[in-house]
Structure 1
Amino acid sequence: MRQRSICVFCGASDGIDPAYGAAGEALGTLIAENNMRLVYGAGDVGLMGRTARAAQSAGGVTFGVIPQHLVDWEVGKTDLTTYIVTETMHERKKVMFMNADAVALLPGGAGSLDEFFEVLTWAQLGLHAKPLVLINTNGYWTPLLTLLDHIIAEGFAKANIKDFFKIAATPQDALPLLK
């Protein structure tokens, strides 16, 4: 049986709440312990680094994709099972998504939002049906969910946009949704 691959979008920083780092570590560990492959942005900093190091420590397979211009900034983690350097951010997202069976979103910034909204839009357009799981660690993504409600209320999206992703409070809650 082919190994399931989980793409994790998350921050290149730790954020201010220690729960964010703990969530990244927990998700990386769970992915490895469940014989799944971690697909992520190949950084060795922030939640990205924490998630990958946890997966590696638990014996997991890791697949990282980083654009050349971020190799120094995000400290490209070259000790991964597979390490790919792309030319552009768009190519990075495409390679990550094409090598994943499901997507999880941990806390992050503009880059994580960009990644999430791209795959959400693709789902809305019928371009894929891969599971998308937003991990709402300590309510981090609650303002985003409120914004989506506002976008729906103002007529810029249909209510079914929220059907294209699931919400989990913790990595443990997300795991069955990613399978």
Structure 2
Amino acid sequence: MHDLKSVCVYCGSSTGHDPAFVAAADALGVALAEAGITLVYGGGSLGLMGRIAHTVLSSGGNVIGVIPQFLHDREVMLRDVSELIITEDMHERKRIMFERADGFVALPGGIGTLEEVVEMMTWSQLGQHEKPIVLANIADFWAPLNDLIVHMSASGFIRPGWDVSYDVVDDIAEVIPTLTSRQAALHADRSPREAMLRRL
């Protein structure tokens, strides 16, 4: 039995051009519902966001939508979620999504999706959480980001002991097993950066 009770999924408010993106959102939604894992997401009704939420709900799962007031006022939220949280701004939205999730998954998306998952990577790197992060690399969507992080490390901007903790999977079927195995690993021995943080 895993300790993964909820997963925050970051993804686009559009569906993108590749049908594989929609298929991935559907598959992940079914997998979360069947595993009894609550979906935490940005509360929208459009694009991959709306797709995965609808799929979780139609598959008998639970969905927590977190949406800022200005988007709620535009009526782009999904009203049928199990729990809808309306926040004052984007900062509160991201904080609540972080607090309500045991792990994070990034499906394909735009600048907002990129910003959200990179922030979770940064917080992990700085020792602010021990929650697993998975990039669902559907049709190689996240390959450029992965290459950039490798380039940053090779260029000396990610120092040894301060590696970015995340996993990349190419198949949606790998997402939940990867989250659970990484969750266990993150609770094992900490890397040298924690000892360094304690000395600061």
Same fold (TM over 0.5): yes
Gaps of 5+ in 2: 181-200
Q: What SS does structure 2 have at the residue aligned with 1:129? A: coil
Larger mean CA deviation between 103-112 and 143-152 belongs to 143-152
Aligned to 2:126: 125
Paired position in structure 2 for 1:43 = 44
Contact 1:3 1:37 in 2 (8 A): no
Distance 2:75 2:9 in 1: 15
- Amino-acid identity (%): 46
- Give me the whole-angstrom Cα distance separating, in 1, the residues matched to 2:37 and 2:95: 20
How far has the Cα of 1:5 moved from its partner? 0.3
Q: Whole-Å Cα distance in 2 between the matches of residues 163 and 88 of structure 1?
A: 28
User: 2:178 corresponds to which letter in structure 1?
Assistant: L
**Residue number in structure 1 paired with 2:22:** 21
Name the structure 2 match of 1:79.
80
Give the Cα–Cα distance (whole angstroms) in 1 for the partners of residues 74 and 27 of structure 2.
25
Quote the offset at 1:74 in angstroms. Answer: 7.2
Q: What is the CA-CA distance between 1:72 and the residue it aligns to? A: 5.2
- Contact map agreement 1:63 1:82 (CA 8 A) in 2: yes
Contact 2:125 2:164 in 1 (8 A): no
Match for residue 57 of structure 1?
58
Deviates more, 1:146-155 or 1:52-61: 146-155
Summarize the Cα distance change of 1:33–1:157 in structure 2 as closer, same or farther, 3 Å threshold. same
1:100: which partner in 2? 101
Root-mean-square deviation (Å): 1.8
Tell me, yes or no, if the aligned pair for 1:45 and 1:74 is still in contact at 8 Å.
Answer: no
Normalised to the residue count of structure 1, the TM-score between the two structures is: 0.94
- Please give the per-residue CA displacement for 1:140-179, whole angstroms capped at 9, x wherever unaligned: 0001111112211222213666551011112211110122
Give the secondary-structure state (helix, strand or coil) at the position aligned to 2:134.
Answer: strand
> How many residues in Structure 1 have an aligned counterpart in Structure 2?
179
One-letter identity of the residue aligned with 1:172 = A
Instruction: Report if the CA contact (8 A) 1:27-1:51 is conserved.
Output: yes
Q: Which has the larger radius of gyration?
A: 2
The equivalent of 2:195 in structure 1 is: none
Q: Deviations over 1:104-153 (max 9, x none)?
A: 11001110011011111000000111010110001000011111122112
C-alpha displacement of 1:71: 2.3
Please say if 1:148 is aligned against 2:158. no
Q: 1:79 to 1:102 in 2, by over 3 A?
A: same
Query: Whole-Å Cα distance in 2 between the matches of residues 63 and 106 of structure 1?
Result: 17
- For 2:134 and 2:47, the matched residues in 1 are separated by 20
Maintained 8 Å contact 1:12/1:74: no
Aligned equivalent of 2:115: 114
- The answer to whether the 8 A contact 1:105-1:112 is kept is yes
